[in-house]
Homo-oligomer: A and B are copies of this chain.
Amino acid sequence: MLQGIASLGLEPLYMPGTEKIVLGAVGDERSIESLHLENYGCVERVIPVLSPYKLASRELHPAETLISISKQHIGAPYFTVIAGPCSVENEEMVQQVGNILQEEKVSFMRGGAFKPRTSPYSFQGLGESGLQLMAKVRERFGTLIVTEVMDSEQVETVATYADVLQIGSRNMQNFTLLKKVGKTNKPILLKRGMAASIQEFLMSAEYILAEGNNNVILCERGIKTFETSYRNTLDLTAIPVLKEKTHLPVIVDPSHAAGNRSYVIALAKAAMACGADGIIVEIHPHPEEALTDGKQSLSFPEFRNLMQQFRRLAAIEGRILP
């Protein structure tokens, strides 16, 4: 086995113990992977010393990534707010959303046109006409568009309208889609999968980066656990962990995690307090009439309240909030 290690140009090391033996191999683990040491019966574990993501890693790229889109910036010291309805429902409601975003000086509007829904019988979104409605809002208010692309076939269409392409949780390991958006020149908002470890999350970012697109925004949105008194468990520890391991901006989605508007403001503030670079939050002019996710959407007065609290927190956290 030491010969196999040496044959790859790696430096082999031998550490005999009293009951087991530790072998070492110094060099790039992408070459040692070709030996498939873990396949051997006598090998109990293969333990990499460095992280398997390279382009996403702060070990090799210590400086923070700052993403700039039409004079707007995402990444520290900016704190980015992305707000809007779960689904684009009709022109009136997105114009109302555009209006409050302008009043609150929020530059990014989220809105779903192609909607991933658990049930085939649920509302599936307006499709391209939803994107057109958002484009009209951008024309009038200047708000940049953040919207989901669900499939590699949709990338071209969605990229025509969107300023930021969102990859949903359920697609975090849709590698064909990751490669496709990696070839566009749009920033990508990548949501963590509900069962994805932080390492798998960074490996998915690496797929996009490896295609040449350096503008990846990571989004923590809750993981699956045994707790049932809210929808998913927002993993805020992931924020300082990600800030340590990667140079990419990290934002938080408190709406989908909580699944209940009562908890959204508390979680949004916690996100800023623990170092997130922004949030993506659902708002709706009339949450009780929303076609999707009304239960978790903030009303406009609640959203104004949140923005006011963000401004006070930003002042002491040294964050720039437009």
A residues sitting closer than 8 Å to B (CB atoms) are: 13, 15-20, 22, 24, 26-27, 30, 33, 36, 38-41, 47, 49-50, 52-53, 59, 116-122, 150-154, 170-177, 179, 193-195, 197-200, 203, 206-207, 210, 223-230, 233-241, 244-245, 257-258, 262-263, 266-267, 269-275, 287-291, 294-295, 297, 312-313, 316
B residues within 8 A CB of A225?
223, 225-226, 233, 235
B residues within 8 A CB of A150?
174-176
Contact among B20, B120, B203 for A49, CB-based, below 8 A:
B20
B residues within 8 A CB of A237?
227, 230, 233-234, 257-258, 263, 267
Q: How many copies does the complex hold?
A: 4
B residues within 8 A CB of A316?
312-313, 316
B residues within 8 A CB of A245?
229
Point out which of A20, A258, A270 has the most chain B C-beta atoms below 10 A from its C-beta.
A270
Find the B residue at minimum CB distance from A41.
B288
B residues within 8 A CB of A151?
151-152, 174, 176-177
A50, B270: Cβ atoms closer than 8 Å: no
B residues within 8 A CB of A19?
49-50, 59
A194, B197: Cβ atoms closer than 8 Å: no
Query: From residue A201, how far is it (CB to closest CB) to chain B in Å?
Result: 10
B residues within 8 A CB of A24?
15, 17, 22
B residues within 8 A CB of A271?
270
B residues within 8 A CB of A272?
273
B residues within 8 A CB of A291?
36
